[in-house]
Structures are given as C-alpha cells and as structure tokens.
Chains A and B, each alone.
Chain A
Amino acid sequence: MIKRVIIVSMVAVLVLGALAGCSTSSQPTSYKVGMIAAQTGPYSALGLPALEGMQVIAEEINKAGGINGVPLELIVYDDKSSSTETVLAAKKLIEVDKVLAFGCSSATGLSHGIVPVANDMETPGIPMSGTGLINDQLGKWAFKPISSEADYIPLPLGYLKNDHGVTKLAGLMENSGYGEGGDHYLKEVAPGMGMTIVEMQYFDPTATDMTPQLTNIKNSGAEAIFIWGSGPAGALAIKQAREMGINLYIVTTPAQASPNYIEEFGDFYEAEPPAVCLDSKLTMWRQLPDTDPDKQMCQQFDELYTAKYGYSPSMWAAIGAQMVQFIADGIERANPDPSNLAEARDAVRIAFESTENLSQFMGTYTLSPTDHYGRIIPKEVLIIVKNGEKVLEKTYEQLQ
C-alpha cells in the first residue's frame, strides 16, 4: 500500500515538475523583477541579508504607490550557492515569470553565470559581483553597479600609509573568487601608492587555523596585514594573530566588520593596534557628520529595516536594497509597457545605460553604453572597534 502511494507520488512529482514549468501568466498590472539569492549553502550569509534588504525597499516602493503607479512585484529564487542552479533560476525568471529585469546577489563566482544568460535572452541582469575583473565582460545586457576592488582598496591602503607610515604590506587572502579579485587588485594598486607587498599567504574559506600563514607573515618583515575574506575565517585570523602576539596593523574586508564577529571577538579587534575594517556608510550612519549627503538616506533605510526585522542592516542588506533601487529607478525612467516584453526589456536596458548620478548606499553611479559599472563616487568607510562598538575611523572624503 505504502509502495503504491510512493509510486503514484513519484510519477506525480515528475509530471507536476514538468507542468509546473508550463504555467505561464502575464499580468500587465505589475512590474515583475526577479531576484536570485543564496538562501542555503555557504553563501547564504550574503544572500539572506541581501534578500531582507531587497524586501524592505520593494515594500517601501509599493507603499508609495509603486513605480509610476504600477506595483513592483519581486520574484525570488534560491540558488543554493550553486552556479548551475543560479543559471536555471535566471532562465526561469526570464522565460516563465517574464521579468523585466533581474538581479543575482550570489557570491562573485556564481553570479557571473547570469551574464551570458542575460545577453542571450536579452533581459537586463545585474550580477552582484564586487570584483572589477569582469567589468569589461558584461556585454550589452549585464550591469554591475556595485563596487570594484580598484576603487576601495585605496581607502585602507591610504589610511595605512598616511596615518601610520606603513610601506610594507602582507596579504592574507581567501582562496576564492572574492580573494582572487583582491589578490589581483592589491598587487596592482599597492605599488602605485608607494607600498610593497612583502608576503602573500592564502587560506581556505573553511579554514579554522591560520597560524601557519600568520607565522610566515610575522617573519616576513611586513608592517601590516590585509585580511581578505568573506567568512568566519577572516575574523578568526584577527583573533589568532593577536593571540600569537602579532601586533602588526590589520586592515580587513567588510565581512569582518559583521556585528556577529565583533560580538564574539571584540576584544581582539580592539587590541592595540586596533583592527581596521572596511564597511559601508549604511552601518555607520549615526557617526557621519550631519553635512554628509548620504546620512539621511542611510538613516531612513536603517529605521525601516530595523522596524521590519528587529536588527540593524548589514552591508549585504544594503547591496540587495540598492539592486532593487537601481532597477526601480531604471524602470521608472523607461516607463515600459510589459505587454510587449522584448521592447520593455530593451527600454529598461537603455534606461540603465543612462543612469546618472544615482546616489546609493555603496556609491554614486553614472552609467553609459560603454560603462556598465559606473561608480563615480565610492562610499566605503573604515571602522575600528572601541568598547565593543563600531567607531567610524575614516571616510573616503576624509582621505582626499
């Protein structure tokens, strides 16, 4: 009996799975935007907050009456931290859900997969990729108004050089797409700023013991360590370095500024000299001077987000949010008619390419047909930890 039930449900699964894909619906009464985010798997730490940020912005837009009076409909899929799933999800969004545009807030390597899909199926797509390595491989339909290492590395390096006279740098890089970008651009940018890289060490994203790498760095004559990672390993590295008695200057990528790790290891962040982390204006808005043009925007988002979720937004939430903002801005200017999908998508694409001075959390963007990246004003900041709290240490404006 049970066997029969199982058999029937198996067949039903196969048939339904096929039919599920067959359902088509087109509602001209909303603007459909697709989003792919990692809800499971190793990249869910980036995907889930990004999703949360997206939902806050989408809700706000709809509360204000939508885009040109048309409600925004956000369709979200889990990419399970897999590049194949990412591509599948993208195709489904384009073909079945008939979205006007879509974004992919997966990790660097995974989101690259949507670039060919966007170009093939002629739908504007936004990979959340913070690396400059693919800026010139986006083609006609992919856009990445996020960030690039070339922009934000000068901030911590400039800080080290100007404020602490550091000229010899060591890198502790994650073995991943993210770390690769860092590796490439660190080597490119550092010499131009008068710094030499005396040592490069690498660690696995799931590594738990970085003492061998840190030992090598200690013995290399470096004056500062740039820890480049996206997971707990980077935070562990700060802890282990201080526990080993290594008191070189430490600068890190934004993941290490996550409140999660500061709560666990705050003491090690504060140990002299305090670790300096890249972060975003969004998380530090309270400490921005009132003259800062972005303060109000960040405050608004923080309040909305905290009201909805009960905790403050992180940089990843900001990135998700700004993707939706960017797309909504483009749709607003394009004013497309979704009943003619191909035309609508092209109109949105053209609108994206004419984005001008769009002020968002991670930067201000002006795109063009030849520049699908377009960040003209980077908005990263540097923070340190004092008494368990994050303190703003430096902004880009202060660096100049």
Chain B
Amino acid sequence: MEISKVVEILKRQQSTKILLLLCILFFMPLLNNLYLNTIVISIGFYSIVTMGFILLMGFAGQISLGQAIFFGLGAYISGILAVKYDISPWLTLVLATVTTGCIAMLLGRAIFRLRGLIVGGITLALNLVFFNLVQSMSGITGGATGMMNIPQLPSGGFMSYSLFIYYVVWLSVILLLVFSLNLVNSRVGRALKAMNLFSGGSDVTAQVMGINIMKYKAGIFAVSAMFASLAGSIYAHYISCIEPATFGVSYSVMIAIMAILGGLSSPWGALLGAALIVGITELLREIIPLFTGGTTGAYELIAYGFILMATLRYLPSGMISVFNRLTKLGDKSSTEVISP
C-alpha cells in the first residue's frame, strides 16, 4: 500500500526532474570539456555530502558540523585498505561505508541524547579531534604530508578515468537522491519530521506517537555519515593523494553553507547549493582578475562573503524556492521544515 503510493508520488512529481537531470548529465560529457567535467565531478561530491547534511538537519532538526569527519573517514579507510592491504578499491568503498556507518551509529547514540546548539558544538569539536588525530597518526595515515598513490577504481578501460569517475559519482548522486526522496515520503521520514524541533514538533509529540527517538536520530546520523563516507572513498580513489587539512572544520562549514543556500526542505537543495557555491567560486576566479589584475584572493573572499549574505537575505529558504517556482511542479512530497 505504502510503496505504491510512494511510487505514484514519485512518478508524478520527481521523475520529471530526475529525468531532466539524467539528460543534462548524459549530454555533458559530449561537450568533451575536461575542465567542465572536473567541475561537475566536484559538484557531485559536494552534493552527496550535503544531501546527508540536509537529511540530518532538515528532517531531524539536528545540526552537524562534522560531515568532514565522515568524508575523511571514507577517504582514509578506503585509502588505507587499498594501499596497505591491497584490497580491491571497489571493495574498500563498501567496507569504508559500512565501518563509518557503525562508527556514526555509536557516536550518534552518545551525542543525540542532547539537542540544540550543543550538538553543533560537539560535532565541531569532534571534527577538530579527527583532524588532529589523522595528522598525528602519521604511521597509518601519512600524517600531515598526506597519503599518496591511492589506486584508481578499476574501470575496465572503456573511457578516460575522469569520465569514469564522473559517471560513478553522478550515478551515486542520483541513486542517493532517489533514496533520500523516498526516505522523506516514507513512514520513517514522517517520523523524523515529527521530531524536527524547528517546525514546532518536539520530542514529546514524537514520543506520544510512539516513535523511538534515539533509534531514529542515531539512524539518520549514520545514514548521513554513510553518504559522506561514500563520497570520501570515491574522492580518495579519484584524487589519489589525500591530506588531513581537506577534512577540517572549514569543509564542514562549507557543506552547511551549501545546504542552507540550496535549501533545507528537500534533498534537491544539496545539488543546487553545491552547484551554486562551486559555480560562484569558479565565476569569481574568472571575473575578478578582469577588474583587479593581479592577486585576487582578497577580493574573492569579500565577494564570497557578500554573495553569501545577499543570498541569505533575499532567498532565506535557499535556491530551492526559486527552483520550485521555476519548474512549477511544486514539491508536494516535502514541506517547508525550516520556517523562514
């Protein structure tokens, strides 16, 4: 009963958008522009991690400033298994994701007895711990110098490695997107929304409805962690050399910014936010030298902050509100959970 209803909703609302996405993604490589390819791959990675963040925050009301931890865990576990133990890269993806999920489940149990800002504080501190740990354990992780020579994912040699990764990443994005949309509509999803403090629901309401809070909170935390971890593992096999600074607090903050700018009310927000930030960064890189000629770093910082403030000011629910209006399909399967 439930399933057919879900499928029906999906068919009506989301499938058009997903089809559109698939078309764009299919045609992109035909432009044969490796640089564009690289940018879109980058957006793909961020989309996956941000989707996890949105699931956690948008539907469970829990802030996590620690997505970088799981992105990093995915990258390092996968890297270590492949480099030190010669395990096939595809297998390392699975192993890393599962391991990270378990770790996140345990962490979630400990953290989510609490709520509110303090959760943000703990995840922030955990992120710092992770960064320092990775840097210190140089025997295992390569320390601050980084881990090099992580093998590529075996691709069968049909196409260039970049193109292959492009498909791997975006296939993952779409699969995870469908998964997330289903999650939002399911019984579980409604349960999570009931817990969302931001929209007025509260733990009491949820408890009265018979929902086991702890199980769900830790569960969604694990899910969001696994998203990030999968992205991290693929990332490691793509960039082939990783270092701790990539997985610090600034990454987690950037994910949060992408989520907020994209829109917390739907997993689509992840793609929008990621595309926006990456697009803006590249655009600034192109435009600013035309005005200043010479060192651009300071101007890029200023412009970045400015754009952040402007977007938040005029589009407080994120790009998704724009998107919804443009496509006019309306997103009936998810509602505003962060009230503007």
Chain A residues packing against B (C-beta within 8 Å): 2-3, 6-7, 10, 13-14, 16-18, 20-22, 24, 38-41, 44, 48, 51, 77-78, 80-84, 87-88, 91-92, 95-96, 108-110, 112-113, 115-116, 120, 131, 133-134, 137, 175-181
Instruction: Pick from B240, B246, B279, B314: contact of A116, CB below 8 A.
Output: B240
Which chain A residues lie closer than 8 Å to B145 at the CB level?
Answer: 108-109, 112, 131, 133-134, 177, 180-181
* Chain A interface main SS type: helix
B245 interface residue (CB < 8 Å to A)? yes
When A13-B276, A180-B145 are in contact, do A120 and B161 touch as well, CB less than 8 Å?
Answer: yes
Q: How many residues of B contact A (CB 8 A)?
A: 50
Within 8 Å of chain A (Cβ to Cβ): is B339?
A: no
Determine if A40 and B143 form an interchain contact, defined as CB atoms under 8 angstroms apart. Answer: no
Residue of A nearest to B295 (CB): A39
Which residue, of B145, B275, B282, has the highest number of chain A Cβ atoms within 10 A? B145
Measured CB to CB, the closest approach of chain A to B129, in angstroms, equals 13
How near does chain B come to A25, taking the closest CB pair, in angstroms? Answer: 13
Q: Is B183 an interface residue, CB under 8 A from the partner?
A: no
* Residue numbers in A under 8 Å from B239 (CB-CB): 83-84, 87, 113, 116
Cα-based distance from A92 to B39 in the complex (angstroms): 9
Shortest Cβ-Cβ A-B pairs, 10 listed: A39-B297, A40-B297, A17-B279, A177-B144, A95-B34, A116-B240, A21-B36, A96-B35, A109-B243, A21-B35
Contact of A112 among B38, B132, B241 (CB under 8 A): B241
A10 x B322 contact (CB < 8 A):
yes
Query: Cβ of A17 and Cβ of B283 under 8 Å apart?
Result: yes
Q: Are B280 and A13 neighbours in the complex by a CB distance under 8 Å?
A: yes
On B, residues with C-beta under 8 Å from A are: 31, 33-36, 38-39, 42, 132, 135-136, 138, 143-146, 148-149, 161, 239-246, 250, 275-276, 278-280, 282-283, 285-286, 295-298, 300-301, 310-311, 314-315, 319, 322, 326
- Please state if B297 and A88 are interface contacts (CB–CB under 8 Å): no
> A residues within 8 A CB of B135?
175-176
Interfacial chain A residues near B295, Cβ < 8 Å: 39, 48, 51, 78
Contacts of A77 in B (CB 8 A): 285
Given contacts A7-B322, A21-B36, A95-B34, contact A176 B144 (CB under 8 A): yes
Nearest residue in A to B279 (C-beta to C-beta)?
A17
Q: Report the bound CA distance from A44 to B300 in whole Å.
A: 14
Query: In the complex, what's the smallest C-beta–C-beta distance from A20 to chain B, in angstroms?
Result: 5
Provide a sorted-by-A list of 9 A–B residue pairs whose CB atoms are within 8 angstroms: A10-B322, A17-B282, A17-B283, A22-B33, A48-B295, A51-B295, A83-B242, A92-B38, A137-B149
Contacts of B132 in A (CB 8 A): 175
Q: Smallest distance from the beta carbon of B140 to chain A beta carbons, Å?
A: 14
A residues near B143, Cβ cutoff 8 Å: 177, 180
Of A2, A16, A81, A83, the contact of B283 (CB 8 Å cutoff)? A16
Query: Closest approach, in angstroms, between the C-beta of B210 and any C-beta of chain A?
Result: 42
Docked Cα-Cα span, A41 to B145, in Å, equals 18
Q: Bound complex: CA of A175 vs CA of B137, how far in Å?
A: 11
A40, B298: Cβ atoms under 8 Å? yes
Q: How long is the Cα–Cα vector from A115 to B297 in the complex, in angstroms?
A: 24
What is the CA–CA distance of A6 and B145 in the complex, to the nearest angstrom? 42
Report the bound CA distance from A181 to B245 in whole Å: 16
Write the nearest CB–CB distance from A17 to chain B, whole angstroms: 3
Closest to A114 in B: B241
Q: Which residue of A lies closest to B244 (CB)?
A: A109
Which residues of A have CB within 8 Å of B148? Answer: 112, 115-116, 134, 137
Decide if B310 touches A10 in the complex (CB within 8 Å). no
Complex CA distance for A16 and B132, rounded to whole angstroms:
39
Our pick among B31, B138, B319 for the contact of A22 (Cβ within 8 Å) is: B31
B313 to chain A, nearest CB (A): 9
Distance A88 CA – B37 CA, assembled complex (angstroms): 11
Of B35, B239, B242, B296, most buried by chain A (CB within 10 Å of CB) is B35
On whether the beta carbons of B276 and A14 are closer than 8 Å, the reply is yes
Contact A17 to B144, CB < 8 A, known contacts A78-B296, A116-B241:
no
In this complex, what residue of B is CB-closest to A85?
Answer: B281
The answer to whether A83 touches B161, judged by C-beta atoms less than 8 angstroms apart, is no
Are B322 and A112 in contact, CB atoms less than 8 angstroms apart?
A: no
Q: Across the two chains, which residue of chain A brings its CB closest to B314?
A: A6
Q: Which residues of A contact B300 (CB under 8 A)?
A: 40, 78, 80
Q: Which residues of B contact A115 (CB under 8 A)?
A: 148, 241
**Nearest A residue to B242, CB-CB:** A83
Q: Which of A3, A40, A82, A108 contacts B301 (CB 8 A)?
A: A40
Query: Once the chains bind, are B297 and A80 in contact (CB under 8 Å)?
Result: yes
Q: Which residues of A contact B276 (CB under 8 A)?
A: 10, 13-14
* Cross-interface CB contact of B245 among A17, A88, A95, A109, cutoff 8 Å: A109
Q: Which residues of A lie under 8 Å from residue B146 when comparing CB positions?
A: 83, 109, 112-113, 177
Measured CA separation A96–B246 after assembly (Å): 25
A6 to chain B, nearest CB (A): 5
Q: Which of A48, A110, A175 touches B243 (beta carbons < 8 Å)? A: A110
Q: Is the pair A95, B35 in contact by a Cβ cutoff of 8 Å?
A: yes
Q: Is the CB of B31 within 8 A of A83?
A: no
Are the C-beta atoms of B297 and A83 separated by less than 8 Å? no
CB distance from B305 to the nearest CB of A (A): 12
List B contacts of A41 (CB < 8 A): 297
- Please measure, in the bound complex, the distance between the C-alpha atom of A296 and the C-alpha atom of B283, giving whole angstroms: 43
Inter-subunit contact A83/B282 (CB<8 Å): no
Tell me the complex Cα distance, A40–B250, Å. Answer: 14
Are the C-beta atoms of B33 and A88 separated by less than 8 Å?
A: no
A109: B residues at CB distance < 8 A: 144-146, 243-245
CA distance in complex: A95, B36 (Å):
10
- B297: chain A residues within 8 A (beta carbon): 38-41, 44, 78, 80
